[in-house]
Structure 1
């Protein structure tokens, strides 16, 4: 468990499943992902995240508001061993319910995840990527002091897919404040 002034980053709980399923079926939340997720796909994703955290002690953690104990999304780190031309690498990513956008939660949670990456995992570099159109996530990356590296085609998407083109950012340990 990782705490920030307003948030708790923690292992996934059974009560997170219905909230995450609602997020995963929300067109606004999933705008920059290839598709909405069914309930079974959403549940399977949580199971995967949970198992990775159980196995290695870190991954995509559930985010909970301290003030209300409300689940609001996830943030964390994921090893990308082979999928990308810039692999192997560890990525940082986040997805929050729309009701919690614009309040600094993604940045606050991501800063805590980066601190974990550099202090506990002793990583030298962390990357992040999103679609070219996802300027909100790119703004979070910039607030984290990440720097633009390049545009690239996501290998899991067809070259004619509207979300195929992504932007890659990175931060090195020495640049983390």
Structure 2
């Protein structure tokens, strides 16, 4: 089983016990406002998402991790890697993404988890390049991208929702520098 420990977090595969806490995170409009069309997800939609993420682990050797606080064992969100098939103009690509419950914002957890995931992608999984897609106005995620030393590549728009997106990337050479 793939696990990553950081000073405060455990990044791990999903279990049945994660469904309810993640569905509570996904039901928060503030959390979801930057994801997809901004719609919240119910319990069934959350179960479908976890199933897709687990399938990606099986097919690609990477996926989204459940993010747990080491001190309490509490699930605080998701972070990981996915293939952004929804944005054909960047393919082939692997995207880093994260989603944390609102009560965990502003404490450095997203940066800590994303940094560990980026290292996993480039060092452990041998990827040459990782991208990130950020919606215009999501300043908090842009701060995380800056901390990851990802480079702003270009602006585009979401093919379905027409929201303005900024693409970022980092390759192995840049990461190791």
TM-score > 0.5, shorter chain as reference: yes
Counting only pairs closer than 5 Å after superposition, residues 9-158 of structure 1 correspond to structure 2 as 9-33=11-35, 34=37, 35-80=39-84, 83-157=87-161
The runs of 5 or more residues in structure 2 that have no matched partner are none
The structure with more helix, counted as a fraction of residues: 2
Q: Which moved more, 1:73-82 or 1:92-101?
A: 73-82
- Bigger mean CA offset, 147-156 vs 68-77: 147-156
Q: How many residues align?
A: 172
The answer for unaligned runs of 5 or more in structure 1 is none
Q: How far did residue 93 of structure 1 move? A: 0.3
CA distance in 1, matches of 2:160, 2:94: 17
Looking at structure 2, the residues matched to 156 and 122 of structure 1 have their Cα atoms a distance apart, in angstroms, of 31
8 Å CA contact 2:76, 2:104 repeated in 1: yes
Cα drift, residue 57 of structure 1: 3.3
- Kept after mapping to 2: 8 A contact 1:2/1:112: yes
TM-score of the two chains, using structure 1 as the length reference: 0.91
1:105 offset after TM fit, Å? Answer: 0.7
Task: Give the aligned partner of residue 5 of structure 2.
Answer: 3
Partners of 1:82 and 1:88 within 8 A in 2? no
